[in-house]
Amino acid sequence: MGIHFRKIRALMPDMTIRETDVYVDGEKIAAVGEAPEGFHADTVVDGLNRLLLPGLINAHTHTYMTMFRGCGDDLPFSEWLMGRIDPLEAKMTREDCYWATLLGNMEMILNGTTASIDMFIFTETASRAAEESGFRTVLTRGLTGPDGGQRRIDEFMGEYRDWKDRCSRVTFALGPHAPYSCSEAYLREVAALAKEEGLGLHTHISESQFEQQTIREQYGCTPAEYMDRCGILTDRTVAAHCVYLNESDMQLLAARGVSVATNPVSNLKLGNGIAPVPEMMQAGINVALGTDGAASNNALNLFRELSFVTLLHKGRTGDTTLVSAAEAMAMATRNGAKALGLTGCGEIKAGNRADLTVLDIDKPWLRPHNDLLSSLVYSARGDETTDVLVDGRFLLRNRELTTIDRERVLFEVDKTCGRLGLLK
């Protein structure tokens, strides 16, 4: 199928915005600028008042947690987690997880996001949701151990083997949960398995002061050092949070080629603080952008994260030049693709996958167009999204979802929330 984006402003790999023509053939971007020979357009998207972005990439989330949006907000952290979220999660069935994942996929698509890396309980349900919704995802299961650790690995590996050749958009990584929830032996086992199976790793590192303290007391080192000595820090590892990295931790992550997923909203909401993003970039770390789960955000909207990640560091340091609009946009696109190992994603260029987002830029809050990139990062809200494509297939077309039955999903989610005693 051929799609011609005609005379459209597009975000180029050098982070400038330029009017051009973009041609999609099948799953790929066939050309930018001149039409490829013999190109036939089945669909023409006129560029008037439109802007084309590489689909945004969510580098850390727990999509199924949309079910718990707004549960226990403004409570002390332990009351929120142990008193509210954990007991709810324990009651969640595979089916609940499936519908909540579709709600999350829907929300991400509506906000211009085309891919995520996701830490799950029931990985298989997320595979199914992504297969049906057309969303691109890297799936992991939160692995904690030793208690029940082997069972979790076995279940995950079973689901991975069932799914690994089934849908090219659904890939997998191993998800050792965090330094404080995994023993040293367990982490080493997971690291060895990743190597053996050729899988990447996704984990949480240095999210809270509590974690810093616990790991220091238990192992006499920082969480990053602990993860490194267990073999978890590799060039295929995505480490979420990293709020409390010190200078030498940053050098370590940079040397190992680890990507960091920063989650500015979640870190604030859970009282964990502000991650040293400019310092990590300075150290040469690939920094990508994530939302974390809806229970600690409460949205899966990367446009919100873009404004937080730029503004927080200016405010924290007093240096207004830190984390520019272009740097933030790179985190949400190119850096995300690199972190997730999504070859051919994250940039609009010939040969890349056609994972694309179209925005309506004729909005009062984006006008005048004195600096469009700046407007996208500092003013856009997500609702400017009109079209979203993954592998050249429209998941959103003229603001209508094409793959997800919105009403059915909302109905099923409400049904579960009713059963769990939620909903007000």
Binders of a copy of itself in range 254-283 (CB under 8 A): 265, 267-274
CA dist 265 and 298 (Å) reads 9
Does residue 368 bind a copy of itself (CB under 8 A)?
yes
Q: Please, which residue, 42 or 407, has the CB nearer to a copy of itself?
A: 407
Does residue 360 bind a copy of itself (CB under 8 A)?
no
CA dist 184 and 225 (Å) reads 12
**Interacting span for a copy of itself (CB under 8 A) from 24-32, 106-114, 195-203, 342-350:** 106-114
Q: Please, which residue, 22 or 306, has the CB nearer to a copy of itself?
A: 306
**Interacting span for a copy of itself (CB under 8 A) from 55-63, 152-160, 233-241, 374-382:** 374-382
CA dist 235 and 256 (Å) reads 6
Does residue 110 bind a copy of itself (CB under 8 A)?
yes
Give the nearest distance from C-beta 322 to a copy of itself in angstroms.
Answer: 8
Please identify which residue in the block is written with the tokens 């850390």: 60
H or E stretch at 343: none
DSSP states along 349-369: -TTSB--EEEEE---GGG-S-
Q: Please, which residue, 28 or 363, has the CB nearer to a copy of itself?
A: 363
Give the nearest distance from C-beta 73 to a copy of itself in angstroms.
Answer: 4
Does residue 87 bind a copy of itself (CB under 8 A)?
no
Q: Is the dihedral of CA 293, 295, 301, 302 positive or negative?
A: negative
**Interacting span for a copy of itself (CB under 8 A) from 39-47, 116-124, 164-172, 378-386:** 378-386
Are the CB atoms for 221 and 215 separated by under 8 Å?
yes
Are the CB atoms for 164 and 172 separated by under 8 Å?
yes
**Interacting span for a copy of itself (CB under 8 A) from 53-61, 245-253, 353-361, 380-388:** 380-388
* Near a copy of itself in 2-41, by CB under 8 A: 17
* Near a copy of itself in 292-351, by CB under 8 A: 297-301, 304, 307-308, 310-312, 314-321, 324-325
Among 148, 195, 365, 399, binds a copy of itself (CB under 8 A): 365
Q: Please, which residue, 5 or 68, has the CB nearer to a copy of itself?
A: 68
CA dist 322 and 319 (Å) reads 6
User: Token pair for residue 99?
Assistant: 């519908």
CA dist 242 and 261 (Å) reads 8
Does residue 80 bind a copy of itself (CB under 8 A)?
yes
User: Token pair for residue 157?
Assistant: 């590996």
Give the nearest distance from C-beta 351 to a copy of itself in angstroms.
Answer: 28
Among 369, 399, 408, 419, binds a copy of itself (CB under 8 A): 369
Q: Please, which residue, 55 or 382, has the CB nearer to a copy of itself?
A: 382
Residues present in the chain in total? 424
Give the nearest distance from C-beta 246 to a copy of itself in angstroms.
Answer: 18
Give the nearest distance from C-beta 414 to a copy of itself in angstroms.
Answer: 6
H or E stretch at 218: helix 209-219
* Near a copy of itself in 204-243, by CB under 8 A: 209
Instruction: Measure the N-to-C terminal CA separation of the chain; round to a whole number of Å.
Output: 46
Q: Please, which residue, 103 or 250, has the CB nearer to a copy of itself?
A: 103
Give the nearest distance from C-beta 424 to a copy of itself in angstroms.
Answer: 6
Does residue 382 bind a copy of itself (CB under 8 A)?
yes
User: Token pair for residue 145?
Assistant: 């151990």
Q: Please, which residue, 32 or 312, has the CB nearer to a copy of itself?
A: 312
For residue 370, with 0-12 CB atoms within 10 Å meaning exposed, 13-18 middle and 19 or more buried, which class applies? exposed
Does residue 424 bind a copy of itself (CB under 8 A)?
yes
CA dist 218 and 230 (Å) reads 14
* Near a copy of itself in 36-75, by CB under 8 A: 66-71, 73-75
**Interacting span for a copy of itself (CB under 8 A) from 38-46, 281-289, 332-340, 370-378:** 370-378
CA dist 3 and 42 (Å) reads 6
* Closest among 57, 170, 65 to 116, alpha carbons compared: 57
Does residue 107 bind a copy of itself (CB under 8 A)?
yes
Residue 402, CA distances (Å) to 98, 345, 387 in order: 18, 22, 10
Amino acid letter, 11: L
